[in-house]
Structures are given as structure tokens and as C-alpha cells.
Structure 1
Amino acid sequence: MLMSSSDRPATLHFDHNGFRVISPGYFVLCAVSGEPIPLDGLRYWSVTRQEAYASPELATQRLLGKA
């Protein structure tokens, strides 16, 4: 069975001004909650940790070491 890009997570390289798609997909997983984040809704990430976050609150939790 073939998987479409909407069935699997994308692999991204996060940069300060955006991200580059390494492997195509429709979403990435939040590093804190594990919830899928559609690429067109991805707004929060860490360049240092190369992680995506579903919300600013989750990004802050990770930054403060509470997640």
C-alpha cells in the first residue's frame, strides 16, 4: 500500500526565518504534546533543538524545562 504525503509527517530543517522541507508530508508532530501540526499552521519551533511546537505556551514550557 502506498502512503500519500498527507498520511505521514514531514521532516523539516528549522531556521530562524522559516523551515525547509527535507522529506515531504502534510504535518509535523509537536515535540511536547505529540499532536500533529499541519505545515500551513506551523508557527512555533526551536532552531537549536530542531523541534516544532503546537502553541506558544508549549514552546515556553519546553524552554523553561517544564515539558
Structure 2
Amino acid sequence: MYNKIDSNENEAVIQYKDGTFKVIRPGTYVICAITGQRIPLQKLCYWNVDRQVPYADSKSSLEAERRAGTIVD
């Protein structure tokens, strides 16, 4: 049977650490906690260690901090 989903593209499970991360389950991407967009692992630069979530970019990271109440405009 033909599968339209590329089996080479799976969501990774990551343990986020200070300045690095550990791959728990191999995959090619993670999902941004704010935008919902796929982030290829080779482009993953932003995450929150305490919340254990990734962000697509600095803007998404800043928005997460605003929503959490750690930054007030």
C-alpha cells in the first residue's frame, strides 16, 4: 500500500538542557509551542528548559514569556 507520509520525517522527542539538547526519540523536527510550525532539528535554536518546549524563533520565545507573565510590556 502506498503511504503518502514520508516515513523519513518523524517528530523527535527532545530533552532540552541549558545550551544544548538531548534526542530521546530520533526524528527530523519538533513543533513550535507557540506557532505550531515544524522546526528542523538542524535549525533548532530556541527552547525553554523549565517548560521543555521548543520555539521557532526569538519572536515566538518572547511571546511565550509574555504569555507566561515573565515579561510585561
Please give the range of the TM-score, normalised by the shorter of the 2 chains: 0.7 to 0.9
- TM-score, structure 1 normalization: 0.88
Give the total of aligned pairs: 64
- TM-score, structure 2 normalization: 0.81
User: Where do 1:48-63 residues align within 5 Å?
Assistant: 48-63=50-65
Pairing 1:7–2:9 present: yes
Pairing 1:36–2:32 present: no
Structure exhibiting the larger radius of gyration computed from Cα positions:
2
CA deviation after TM superposition for structure 1 residue 7, in Å: 2.0
Report the AA paired with residue 30 of structure 2. Answer: V
Q: Percent identity over the alignment?
A: 34
Q: Secondary structure at the match of 1:28?
A: strand
